[in-house]
Chains A and B, each alone.
Chain A
Amino acid sequence: MAAVIAFEDVSVAYGGRDGLRDVTLEVAAGELCVLVGPSGAGKSTLLRLVNRLVAPSAGVVRVRGEDIARNDPIRLRRSIGYAIQSVGLFPHRTVGENIATVPRLLGWPEPRIAARIPELLALLRLDADLAARYPHTLSGGQAQRVGLARALAADPDLLLMDEPFGAADPILRRALRAELRRIHAVTGKTILLVTHDAEEALELATRVVVLRDGRVLAAGAPLELIRAADPFVRDLLGGDAPALRRLGLVTVAAAMAATAAPAGAPVIAPGASLSDALSLMLETRAEVLAVGEDGRTLGSLGLPGLLRAVPMPAPA
């Protein structure tokens, strides 16, 4: 499959922080690629190269196969969704008008725009009445969702997100992450997302890219990277409890056995993570859980099965 975004030996020269050195990276269609790293690593710079908010001092950036330096930046930007931490909703426009921004810029006919707004509000599980309100009347979570709706409005195949949930509180962040995963699954869009939060990166990404001092340190699937050889990457992603992090990345469905659980065993959903399962076992003092959904029993998950599902590398 062709890469939607390709960075070829890209450098950005800044004085010290936030520069990039010889970055080569491809993002394939349908990926949810998360750029993670400490602040000043160049994550946002890499993201902003894609819609030409930043120009490379060397190298080539290709979007959908074309060298973007050769094309009109305005047209490029209109074809890419963009969401940022501070949301940046236009305070003088209603929610509906905010969402309609890029469709208007693209010259969509009004009826199509009018139909698109409730569609997006529904996709983000927002009340349709919100369309007529001004941004300052929204709660933080609503504003974040409207920002995402605006980014998705013209149905771009590519979405750039710079710390999109950075300003949200922990509970809201969880909800928004789940929302993003769902939207990614439903729409199949290519998403490039920047975060400094390793847990967020592992939870969201189909592929994680770790940056440090302007270089790509590692790139791969979340489970692979937790086992990475590089101590910096391992520390960043695994934190103090790499085993627990990994438990959080595997679903119950992937680890369960088809055998029936003993009667009276606590029930867990197949979509829950193994860390949820372990937590339930500890709370209920049960060594075997029943896996079920909507009243149907699918199988069981015991402590040995849970341990087998997360093989750990031998200590170095």
Chain B
Amino acid sequence: MGTHPAVPARGLEPALALLALLGLYAFGWLAVAPNRLVSGTSLGAAAALGWGVHAIAVLILGAVALRRWRPGLAPALPVMLLVLAAALALGLTGDAARHQLQELAPAARAMLGFGFWLGIAALLVLLAEVLRGASIWLRVLAPLLLLGIAALAGWLGLLDRLSLVVEYQARAETLHAALLRHLALAGAALGIVLAFGIPLGWWAFRSPRAEAALAAVLNAVQIVPALALFGALIPLLSALLRAVPALRGLGVEAIGTAPTLIGTAAYAGLPLWRGILAGLAAAPREVVGVAEAMGMDEARVTRAVRLPLGLPVFLAALRVAAVQCIGLVALGGLIGAGGLGALVLEGMAQFATDLILLGALPIVALALLADGALRLLEGRLAPWRR
């Protein structure tokens, strides 16, 4: 139980709305360039979207004003206003790109500017903030609605002239393959983390000396920067393969999958291990004591008391580990493991913003998705806390 006040922060939503308005009115929204590798001339949202920019602003301000001065109101109305604002911003921007590129050569691009990203990000965070107090169905429905609108706009071809979409269409297959590869790597790394973390967590729970030793090792790993660990694994694995050539037969290589999985698992191991340990110790002592006094044997106390009471802690640890795996696997792109990280690096090498975004956005989206889904599950699986 925290000591923080129960009153929500009143300044947060206006601050986010202000950021969204800054994106709309103070920064470049759309940049028009003769080809994909130069930055081109920047247009503000007012110039690019016309009257629509004010409509978006009014919707956002309306939602925040409702929240501020009608605090008793159900969140459904402000949520709908914000979803509408986001949909309008997306649709009008796609339309503006088509309009701007009408008389230019086919190589010309309309790139989304800093203002767009700032505005959309602030709008989405604001939406998430409003949704926090909403019912479960609204929390599921609103993102789905937003995704549906985006998909519909894409399907109707409304967004086709945005450079990000052009880039996507040119590289759809590569992207899908990279996405699957990324998921496979992250999943495999998480599997390794679980396979080691659970027994090691149990061992540490049983033996304080094992706990101290494991904590020292895993904490030390955590201090080594990821790039150094991933890098160091290459010469180390090379040396190992020279010493034991038979490992090659098992498909182990010094670059690519093996160092990526080992490095990722080594990092994500600490939060998971710590969570297993904390979860096993989560049951209050007197509750365990009563369980024993009522005639539960050790196995039963573990199964009926320790595990269910530790479940939210286990899930929180799994969430942190999953998010870390998704992020860290990106670095595998650097050492030949492929995945979305390789796409980002290719974009950096070409200095192509859209390609960087094409790789980066799914990484962030995957991590947030994993985080959100597991958070939702935590709440569902611990009904005694509500």
Contact = CB atoms under 8 A, between A and B. Distances in A.
Q: Do chains A and B touch in the complex (CB under 8 A)?
A: yes
Interface string A131-154: 000111000000000000010000
Contacts of B292: 53, 77
B293 A53 contact: yes
A128 B23 CA distance: 58
Given A93-B384, A134-B384, A135-B384, A88 B296 contact: no
B383 interface: yes
A143 to B, nearest CB: 12
**A88, A92, A93, A102 pick with most chain B CB within 10 angstroms:** A92
B58 interface: no
B293 A90 contact: no
Given A84-B286, A86-B286, A92 B294 contact: no
Interface string A74-100: 111111001010101111110000000
A105 interface: yes
A77 B294 contact: yes
A241 to B, nearest CB: 35
A102 B382 contact: no
B1 to A, nearest CB: 11
B290 A88 contact: yes
B295 A102 contact: yes
A92 B308 contact: yes
Interface in A8-56: 51, 53
Interface string A87-119: 011111100000001100100000000000000
A134 B386 CA distance: 9
Interface residues of A, number: 26
Contacts of A75: 295
Contacts, number: 58
A40 to B, nearest CB: 19
B179 interface: no
B305 interface: yes
Interface residues of B, number: 20
Nearest to B386: A134
Contacts of B290: 82, 84, 88
Contacts of A90: 287, 291, 305, 309
B2 to A, nearest CB: 16
Contacts of A135: 384
A80 B52 CA distance: 75
B297 interface: yes
B384 A136 contact: yes
B81 to A, nearest CB: 35
A105 B294 contact: yes
Contacts of B309: 90-92
Given A84-B290, A86-B286, A91-B287, A74 B384 contact: no
Contacts of A160: 293
A76 to B, nearest CB: 7
A79 B293 CA distance: 10
A136 B384 CA distance: 7
B297 to A, nearest CB: 5
Contacts of B296: 74, 105
A135 B385 CA distance: 10
Contact of B295 (A74, A84, A86, A134): A74
Contacts of B300: 105
B384 A82 contact: no
B289 interface: yes
Given A91-B384, A92-B384, A93-B384, A76 B291 contact: no
A88 B294 CA distance: 11
Contacts of B383: 134
Contacts of B286: 84, 86, 88
B289, B308, B382, most chain A CB atoms within 10 A: B289
B11 to A, nearest CB: 32
A93 B293 CA distance: 17
A118 to B, nearest CB: 21
Contacts of A134: 383-384
Contacts of B294: 77-78, 82, 101-102, 105, 150
Contacts of B385: 136
Given A84-B286, A84-B290, A88-B286, A78 B382 contact: no
B289 A88 contact: yes
Contacts of A102: 294-295
Contacts of B293: 51, 53, 77, 82, 84, 160
Interface in B270-320: 284, 286-287, 289-297, 300, 305, 308-309
Contacts of A84: 286, 289-290, 293
A51 B290 CA distance: 11
B287 A88 contact: yes
A46 B181 CA distance: 64
B51 to A, nearest CB: 53
A105 B284 CA distance: 21
Of listed B287, B300, B383, residue having the most chain A CB within 10 A: B287
30 contacts: A51-B293, A53-B289, A53-B292, A53-B293, A73-B295, A74-B297, A77-B292, A77-B294, A79-B295, A82-B290, A84-B286, A84-B289, A84-B290, A84-B293, A86-B286, A88-B286, A88-B287, A88-B289, A89-B287, A90-B287, A90-B305, A91-B309, A92-B309, A92-B384, A101-B294, A102-B295, A105-B294, A134-B383, A134-B384, A150-B294
Going nearest first, the 3 A-B pairs with the smallest beta carbon separation are A78-B295, A77-B295, A88-B290
Interface of A: 51, 53, 73-79, 82, 84, 86, 88-93, 101-102, 105, 134-136, 150, 160
Given A76-B295, A89-B287, A92-B309, 6 more contacts: A74-B296, A75-B295, A78-B295, A82-B293, A82-B294, A91-B309
